Amino acid sequence: MIIRPPRHWFIRLFAWHGSVLPDILFRLFLNLLMSIVAVYTFDWYKTLGIKLTLAPFSLLGIAIAVFLGFRNNVCYGRYTEARVLWGNLLIACRTVQRQVIAVCPQERESIMQLLLAFCYSLKHQLRGSEATADLTRLLGDDAQNILARRTPTNTLVLQLSQRLAARRQAGELSEMVYVNLDQSLKQLSAVQAGCERLVSTPVPFAYTLLLHRTVYLFCCLLPFALVPDLHYMTPLVSVLVSYSFLSIDTLAEELEMPFGREGNHLPLDAICHNIEINLREMNDENPLPADLRPDAWYRLT
């Protein structure tokens, strides 16, 4: 499915996206308040010998640029890696299903169910949500055995493996073809372990703390540094600079753990749904479930 947000520059300028901005609105308001305080108390605190100029802030700005740029790259890299892993899942599912249809068509139905169960189980594992409904729909009573496990997703790969091993034992799959299928199962394992790695290893917390503190202190002190130069224009410029620094920080934050259900997270529901449509059509099922559609903000969950 092709997803295209609106491209006209004027629309984009005023589009309300529903993410990031609501999270930082309160802090922007605080910054505005502090700017106004700075403007009105400037003449008084100047007499106390307190002054701040913009020059040292450029210097600090360089340091923050290094931090923000680094953290943003890292978090977006996690988001992209997560998306690539789920893209690999689509490849692996299609490939296993195609191979099974070609060399062992009697298992096409049962393998498809296990593959879909793997996808949904992985999704629920990553989101910390309840897999019972999806697994029961796909596997029927067998779902209970899976759900009772500590590592249900891994158990599903094991079951796929054992199903194929049984056919090999029965002489229906040659060694060569069995090993070829086994290679594809390995890719399911790789996707699972890659996602688990992302979810259990956040960016070192010290980075996040360090960046937050530096950015916040910077935004707090900024109005006082701007006031000698800009006077009445201080609130405008201060809020604009704070907006750009705080929102890139917040956005990076959201992308760090991309498996949730928030605005800029990966649409795992839609991806699982798409895998289901693909595998079911490969098995000539008819009719197929309808596509999921993005909401008014071009978002899928």
Would you say 147 or 248 has its CB closer to its own copies? 248
Out of 44, 205, 293, 296, the residue judged to bind its own copies by CB under 8 A: 205
90 binds its own copies (CB under 8 A): yes
247 binds its own copies (CB under 8 A): yes
Structure tokens at 64: 């923050």
84 binds its own copies (CB under 8 A): yes
Cα Rg, the chain, nearest whole Å: 26
54 binds its own copies (CB under 8 A): yes
The string over 110-135, giving b where at least 16 C-beta atoms fall within 10 Å of a residue's C-beta and e elsewhere, is: ebbbbbbbbbbbbbbbbbeeebeebb
Out of 22, 29, 33, 51, the residue judged to bind its own copies by CB under 8 A: 51
Q: How far apart are CA 71 and CA 285, in angstroms?
A: 46
Out of 56, 140, 145, 261, the residue judged to bind its own copies by CB under 8 A: 56
13 binds its own copies (CB under 8 A): yes
Count of alpha carbons within 13 Å of 153, Cβ hemisphere only? 20
Would you say 113 or 153 has its CB closer to its own copies? 153
Q: With CB under 8 A as the contact rule, which of the stretches 108-116, 136-144, 191-199 interacts with its own copies?
A: 191-199
Looking at residues 165 to 184 of the shown chain, list those that interact with its own copies (rule: CB under 8 A).
165, 168, 174-180, 182-183
Structure tokens at 114: 């296990």
Q: Is 115 left (phi over 0), alpha (psi -120 to 50) or beta?
A: alpha
261 binds its own copies (CB under 8 A): no
248 binds its own copies (CB under 8 A): yes
33 binds its own copies (CB under 8 A): no
Q: How far apart are CA 82 and CA 191, in angstroms?
A: 9
The tokens 């060694």 sit on which residue? 175
Q: How far apart are CA 170 and CA 151, in angstroms?
A: 29
Q: How far apart are CA 199 and CA 257, in angstroms?
A: 7
109 binds its own copies (CB under 8 A): no
110 binds its own copies (CB under 8 A): no
Looking at residues 146 to 165 of the shown chain, list those that interact with its own copies (rule: CB under 8 A).
149-151, 154-155, 157-158, 161-162, 164-165
- Residues in the interface with its own copies (CB under 8 A) total 133
231 binds its own copies (CB under 8 A): yes
Residues contacting residue 20 through CB under 8 Å, at least 6 positions apart: 247, 250, 251, 254, 263, 264
185 binds its own copies (CB under 8 A): yes
